[in-house]
Amino acid sequence: MKKFLVLACALALSGLSSAALAGEGFVRGEAGQSDVKVKVDGLGSDSDKDTAYSLRGGYWFNPNFAVEGHYSRFYDKTLYDDGTDYVDGKLSAIGLGIVAKEHYSESNLGFFVQLRAGVARGKVSVDTSEGSGSATSTKPYYGIGAGYDFSRRFGLSLNYDHNQGSGDGLKITANTLSLGLEARF
């Protein structure tokens, strides 16, 4: 009886496609613009925009759910330079999160919307003619996107992401609008 049960299970599992049992890895590159806002207690607030990019990778467990890791650079500019003294500022983050995706067709191709959320460790770095320093904080991030999967292996999307950081009287937010290209393997 046990041999028959094992054989029946083996035949049932062999009938399932490998695509149904196995997910697929992905890499994604995004480029766009970040609107960075800084608020310092007692000093006020300011904002600036800069070109941003993000490199993401992860694993789709099925067409609707994935985990991802990412590195994002939101800001990298010279804030002051008079030829002698200078101040350079950088804002970046590494993170880990989940992605939920829904296609408008049963084939899991074509138009889709996606949500992503997780935790990111943001880092603000300042380099001056007098020295340098940095600070980090770990906060949640979230984003939304819409796009088009041209094939099972390639898609394009427009994304909006919100990242934040704070500490010692400093609050920073980075709202990023980007175009993303994703390859799945």
pLDDT tens readout for residues 49-96:
999 999 999 999 999 999 999 999 999 999 889 989 999 999 999 999
Would you say residue 16 lies in a domain? no
* Secondary structure of 127-179 in HEC code, one letter for each residue: EECCEEEEEEEEEEEEEEEEEEECCCCEEEEEEEEEEEEEECCEEEEEEEEEE
Would you say residue 11 lies in a domain? no
CATH of the domain at 50: 2.40.160.20
Would you say residue 14 lies in a domain? no
Would you say residue 8 lies in a domain? no
Would you say residue 155 lies in a domain? yes
pLDDT per position as a tens digit, 124-134: 999 999 999 99
**Any bridge partners for residue 148, and if so which?**
111, 156
Q: How far apart are CA 178 and CA 28, in angstroms?
A: 12
Would you say residue 178 lies in a domain? yes
pTM of the shown model:
0.82
pLDDT per position as a tens digit, 122-172: 999 999 999 999 999 999 999 999 999 999 999 999 999 999 998 888 899
Would you say residue 128 lies in a domain? yes
Would you say residue 61 lies in a domain? yes
State which residues form the domain around 162.
23-184
Looking at the 3D structure of the chain, how many domains does it have?
Answer: 1
